[in-house]
Amino acid sequence: MKQKRYRALCVLLSTLLLASGTLTGCGSGQASGVSKETQTEDSAKKSSSNKSTSNKEKVPEIEGLEYQKTMNLTYATEFNVFYYKGGYKLLDVKDDRQYLIVPEGKKAPKGLDGDIIVLKQPLDHIYLAATSAMALFDSIDGLDHIRMSGAQASDWYIEHAKEAMEAGDILFAGKYSEPDYEMLIKEDCDLAIESTMILHTPKVQEMIEDLDIPVFIDRSSYEGHPLGRTEWIKAYAAMLNKEDAADTFFEEQAEIIEELKDFKNTGKTVAYFFVSTDGTVVVRSSKDYIPKMIEIAGGKYIFKDLKNTESKSSSVNLSMEEFYSKAKDADYLIYNATIDNPIQSVQELTAKNELFADFKAVKNGNVWCTGKSLYQATDIVGNLITDIHLMLTDGDPSEMTFLYQVTE
C-alpha cells in the first residue's frame, strides 16, 4: 500500500506537470505484465503484430498451463477466451492485449510473457469507465463487482446502476479522462475498464497502470454485428466466472434478433449521424453494427463502402459538403444523440448547417433522433431494430424505445 501511495503522489505530480508540458518520470515498478509504453490506437495495433490476425486460428501456448477449450462465440470477432486447466483463462482482445485471469488463491505461472496482463480474481473493486458495459454486468448479476463508476448517478439510464450509486455501493471516481487516482488507491481498485475513448488520453491510461492497476479497453464498438457487441457479455462473464449466466442471456437476445430477420426490405435509405462542435459530420462506417441494424430492420444504410482509413474506429468524420453529396437524397435522417445533445426541432438541425434544409428527409418530415440512453442499452439491441422498422413502415411512434420523430 505504501508503494501505491508513493505512486499516487507521482501521478498527481505528473498531472500538474502535464499542464506545463514538463512531465518527468517517477521511478516505479511495472504492473504485472503491463507495458509502461504509452499506447495510442496505432501503437496498440503495432504491439499486437506478433499475435495471430484471427484469434480463432491459433491457441496461445502458455508455459506451465495446459489448454482445455476455447469459448464459443457466434458473432463477436474482437476477442477470444481460451481456457486452461486449473481455472486459468486467457482473454485475448484482437489488435490490443492479452489478459491472464488467475483464479483466487493461485499464482500466475513462472516465466509468463511480460506482455500478458495478469487479472487476479476475485475482481470485485472494478472502476467502470466504459458505460456501455454496465448493462452487461447488470444482466449477469455482476454489479457487486463494480466499486467505482466513471459516470455519476444522474448520468445512468440503467436503474440498478443508479440505485447502487445512490446507496453508496458504487462510487463516482471521475470520468475516464480525469479519474480520481486517490480514490482508485483507497478503494483498492483491481481493474479499470475503459472505452476506446481512453486511446485519446493515453497519459491517463499510463498513470492508472503506474498504480499497478490493470486497464482493460472495451472494444465492443468495433464489432460489425449488433449481437457481436452484446456478446462482449461473455468477456466480462469470464472475469467473474459467470459464463453460464452470460450464455443464457445471450441466447435469449439472439432469439429476439432472429425473429426480427423476417422484416422485409423496404428499399428505403437511412443516414445515421451527428454534427460535432466544429461542424464535422460524424457517421458510422459501413461495416459497423448500426448499419447492420438498419439492414435487419428492412432499410439500407446510405453509405455503401465507407470506412475509417486512419484507424479502426467505427466513426468516420465527413465535411458537411461530403455528407451532403452522399446523404441529401436519403429517405430518413437519424440524429445520433448518444454523444451530442438531442435535437427537438428541424430548426435546431438546420441551425447546425443551413444545407440540411435541402435534404430530402427534411423536406418530407422524416427526421428522427435517438435518445441519450441508447449507448448504454447493450442488453436490448433488438429494440432499436424494431424502432427503425417502425420508422420505415410508418408504425406507431408510441411503441418505440429509443427513437422519436423531430418536427418543425
**Does residue 355 have a pLDDT over 60?**
yes
Report the C-alpha gap between 48 and 288 in whole angstroms. Answer: 22
The helix/strand/coil state of 105 is: coil
Identify each DSSP E strand in 56-204 by its residue range. Answer: 67-70, 79-84, 88-93, 98-102, 116-120, 126-128, 146-149, 171-172, 191-194
Ordered by start, the domain boundaries in the chain are 30-253, 261-406
Mean pLDDT taken over the chain: 88
Q: What class has domain 30-253?
A: alpha beta
Mean pLDDT of 198-211: 96
Residue reference for cell 482445455 = 68
- Kindly report, residue by residue over 119-131, the tens digit of the pLDDT: 999 999 999 999 9
Degrees, nearest 5: CA angle 179-144-89: 85
The DSSP-derived string for 216-280 is EE--GGG-SSHHHHHTTHHHHHHHHT-HHHHHHHHHHHHHHHHHHTTPPP--EEEEEEEE-TTS-
- Kindly report, residue by residue over 232-278, the tens digit of the pLDDT: 999 999 999 999 999 999 999 999 999 898 899 999 999 999 999 99
Work out the pLDDT band at 12, boundaries 50, 70, 90: low
DSSP state of 345: B
- What amino acid occupies position 307? K
Contact 230, 252 (CB under 8 A): no
Work out the burial of residue 180: count CB atoms within 10 Å of its CB; fewer than 13 is exposed, 13-18 middle, 19 or more buried.
middle
Q: Which of 147, 80, 92 is nearest to 117 (CA)?
A: 92
For the chain, give the percent of residues with pLDDT over 70. 86
| Residues whose CB is less than 8 angstroms from the CB of residue 139 and which lie 6 or more positions away in sequence, other chains included | 233, 245, 246, 249, 379
Report the C-alpha gap between 135 and 140 in whole angstroms. Answer: 9
**Are domains 30-253 and 261-406 of this chain identical in fold?**
yes
In this structure, how many other beta carbons lie within 10 angstroms of the beta carbon of residue 200? 11
Sign of CA dihedral 305, 306, 311, 315: negative
**Does residue 362 have a pLDDT over 90?**
yes
Report the C-alpha gap between 79 and 248 in whole angstroms. Answer: 19
pTM: 0.84
- Kindly report, residue by residue over 112-160, the tens digit of the pLDDT: 999 999 999 999 999 999 999 999 999 999 999 999 999 999 999 999 9
pLDDT of residue 13: 52
Report the C-alpha gap between 374 and 382 in whole angstroms. Answer: 12
The DSSP-derived string for 39-71 is --HHHHHHHTTTS-SSTTT-PPP-TT--EEEE-
For the CA atoms of 115, 176, 53, 306, the dihedral, rounded to the nearest 10 degrees, stands at -160
The number of C-alpha atoms within 13 Å of 212 and in the hemisphere containing its C-beta is 15
- Kindly report, residue by residue over 294-328, the tens digit of the pLDDT: 999 999 999 998 988 777 778 999 999 999 999 99
Contact 343, 335 (CB under 8 A): yes
Instruction: Provide the β-strand partners of residue 172.
Output: 149
Contact 252, 268 (CB under 8 A): no
Contact 257, 348 (CB under 8 A): no
**Does residue 95 have a pLDDT over 80?**
yes
Domain over 261-406 is classified CATH 3.30.413.10? no
- Kindly report, residue by residue over 19-56, the tens digit of the pLDDT: 444 444 443 333 333 333 333 334 333 333 333 334 45
**Does residue 190 have a pLDDT over 90?**
yes
